[in-house]
Chains A and B, each alone.
Chain A
Amino acid sequence: MSKVLVAAKNLTKKFKQLIAVNGISFEIHEGECFGFLGPNGAGKTSTVKMIHCVSPVTSGELTVGGTPASINNRKIKMNVGVIPQEITLDIDLTVLENLMVFANFFDIPKRQAKERVADLLKFVELEGKKNSKIDELSTGMKRRLLVARALLNHPRMIIADEPTTGLDPQARHLIWQRLRQLKRQGATLILTTQYMEEAQQLCDRIVIMYKGKILKEGIPERLIEDEIGKEVIEIRIPKEEDEKLIHLLSDSSCGHERVGDTLYFYCKNGQDLKKKVVDLKLTNFLNRPATLEDVFLKLTGRSLVE
């Protein structure tokens, strides 16, 4: 078993009346990619902000690398790289200046910083943009620059808070590639996301958060298998026909759920059911592999989260 890097016990965060994080416990190991999944307002960002010491812990215990996380713990901040959710680049500075000024904050000597910045600009494919102003960059470029900025101090732990929100597929895949590359180089990755695909692409272990609590913890594939099975069959039929259909398909040992205009079947093995559906000549159906999204929706309910 690898070393524990982050340990939380009954971790709680309150903002006045609102309980953002409600007594959660988890452990993150060195070298793994750990994901916090959840809808908006689940408490993911509040949790990671406590981990990288910009938000004080209300109650409970939280240690990072063995030392308690607190907003005055400069040692932790020295070894963490943060890719924030919001684009917090310094718009008064150029791309190059952004990185050089930031390197300063980590006490990196100028000569060393110059080399590091050149390497990082190559790493995120922004060499050609080093003298550009921030508003001349596309959203994807800005996100990549945030990645580069987070890596200036050679962090042991990288926190990526929804790093691909609002990106097109090319930019998103580039960021994933880079994050995987960093993990291979030995960094511990902590990711928050509401994109299930992202979690499946990157994470070794995840927790699913909802309303400040952890609903489930585990390895993505196993969670899918335990909670949903292998396959999902979606059938779009009017609600009135549910009973008849469920009765006809009842012996295929699949769980079912009605949400809005769709009847869902969750199966360990969908062959049997699929055959029946084809025999019934139903046209409005879709057979696909089960994903983390199904787990997520099953656990948090398919209704809109406000």
Chain B
Amino acid sequence: MNLSYRIYYVFLRNLISYKRFIFTTFLVSLGQPFFYLITFGVGMGAYMGFIGGRPYLYFLVPGVLISSVMMSSTFECLYGTFVKMIHEKLYDSLIATPVSAEDAIAGDIAWGAFRGMISGTLMLIVSAFMGILPVSFINLLLLMVLMMFVGVLFSSLSMIVTSYSPNFDFFSYYTELVVTPMLFFSGVFFPLDKFPGWIQSLSQFMPLTHAVNISRAVYSGTTSPGLAFNFLVLFVVEVIAFVGGVKLMKRRLIK
């Protein structure tokens, strides 16, 4: 792993180019949480009543927030990275400078995580207007750290997919067969305890499940013994995904 501080330069390049898309992406990033909060929170929430002794929105917001981080990071490192790699040939010119292939990929992972954090933060602002916020300021900061962590995780996982992808269509396998099921089987919208045991076991293999559990704990300020396990799973998956994503992308970039 030939990593250096130049990761930051790659991140900065993305930030400068982002100026041109900022308005559109903000609008899109805001649209999604509104959609979820209104349909599930307000519409369906009327039938859900209370979960864990609190109104349904308290259950929903921490999950939707983390899944919006997942979505933004994932799409950035699938489509965004693919366009930069194949159509714009950006990596070809990057690796001819002192920026290594690893720097370039890690810089894009950092960028994907940042995009995820923007979505998460917009969601945070929207839900704050509905009166739902983490219990303390410290917890709010913890939530930001969690968002970054989850952003890096899903950016890295997407890099693995991108490193194998011959074209855009290939991404559908991942988004439709992995990401979408994850969204519904990770306890984002409703608790998993009514599912049969095997689905509950399956959900333990989904990183989003663990991220959502931690997010809820950060929001409510209540800890439970399962949290340590959630952290451990996320950490292990993150390290594997990051190393794997960088290595596989490097294999594709350097011939």
Contact = CB atoms under 8 A, between A and B. Distances in A.
A186 B254 CA distance: 31
B252 interface: no
Interface stretch (B12-20, B34-42, B175-183, B239-247): B12-20
A89 B20 CA distance: 17
A52 B97 CA distance: 9
A126 to B, nearest CB: 18
Contacts of A55: 254-255
A101 B13 contact: yes
B136 to A, nearest CB: 39
B88 A56 contact: no
A101 B98 contact: no
A92 B88 CA distance: 9
Contacts of B68: none
A106 B6 CA distance: 9
A54 B96 contact: yes
B163 interface: no
Given A54-B254, A86-B89, A77 B96 contact: yes
Given A101-B12, A104-B12, A88 B89 contact: yes
Interface string B87-106: 01110111111111100000
B90 A105 contact: no
**Looking at chain B's contact residues, is the secondary structure mostly helix, strand, loop, or mixed?**
loop
Given A56-B254, A84-B93, A88-B89, A105 B98 contact: yes
A185 interface: no
Given A91-B88, A93-B16, A105-B9, A52 B96 contact: yes
Contact of A90 (B12, B17, B101, B255): B17
Contact of A77 (B4, B17, B97): B97
B3 to A, nearest CB: 11
A42 to B, nearest CB: 17
Interface band, chain A: 20 to 34
B2 A104 contact: no
A153 to B, nearest CB: 8
A78 interface: yes
A184 B89 CA distance: 32
A54 B13 CA distance: 20
Contacts of A80: 96
Contacts of B94: 105
A104 B89 contact: no
A71 B99 CA distance: 11
Nearest to A46: B255
Interface string A79-108: 010101010111111000100011011110
Most A C-beta atoms less than 10 A away, residue of B20, B92, B98:
B98
B6 A105 contact: yes
B88 A107 contact: no
A293 B101 CA distance: 39
B107 to A, nearest CB: 11
Interface in B5-27: 6, 9, 12-13, 16-17, 20
A72 B100 contact: yes
A301 B94 CA distance: 38
B90 A88 contact: yes
Nearest to A102: B97
Contacts of A102: 93, 97
A54 B20 CA distance: 30
A208 to B, nearest CB: 25
Given A86-B89, A92-B88, A71 B98 contact: no
A241 to B, nearest CB: 51
Contacts of A88: 88-90, 92-93
Contacts of B17: 90, 92-93, 97
Nearest to B18: A92
A74 interface: yes
A15 B255 CA distance: 8
Interface in A250-293: none
B2 to A, nearest CB: 5
Given A72-B2, A90-B13, A54 B88 contact: no
Given A71-B100, A88-B89, 19 more contacts: A52-B96, A54-B92, A55-B255, A74-B100, A78-B98, A82-B96, A84-B92, A88-B90, A90-B88, A92-B20, A97-B16, A97-B17, A102-B93, A104-B9, A104-B12, A105-B6, A105-B9, A107-B98, A149-B93
Q: Which 9 A-B pairs have the closest CB atoms?
A: A92-B17, A88-B93, A105-B97, A74-B98, A88-B89, A82-B96, A104-B9, A101-B13, A77-B98
Interface of A: 15, 52, 54-56, 71-72, 74, 77-78, 80, 82, 84, 86, 88-93, 97, 101-102, 104-107, 149
10 contacts: A74-B4, A77-B96, A84-B96, A88-B93, A90-B13, A90-B90, A92-B17, A101-B12, A102-B93, A105-B99
Interface of B: 2, 4, 6, 9, 12-13, 16-17, 20, 88-90, 92-101, 254-255
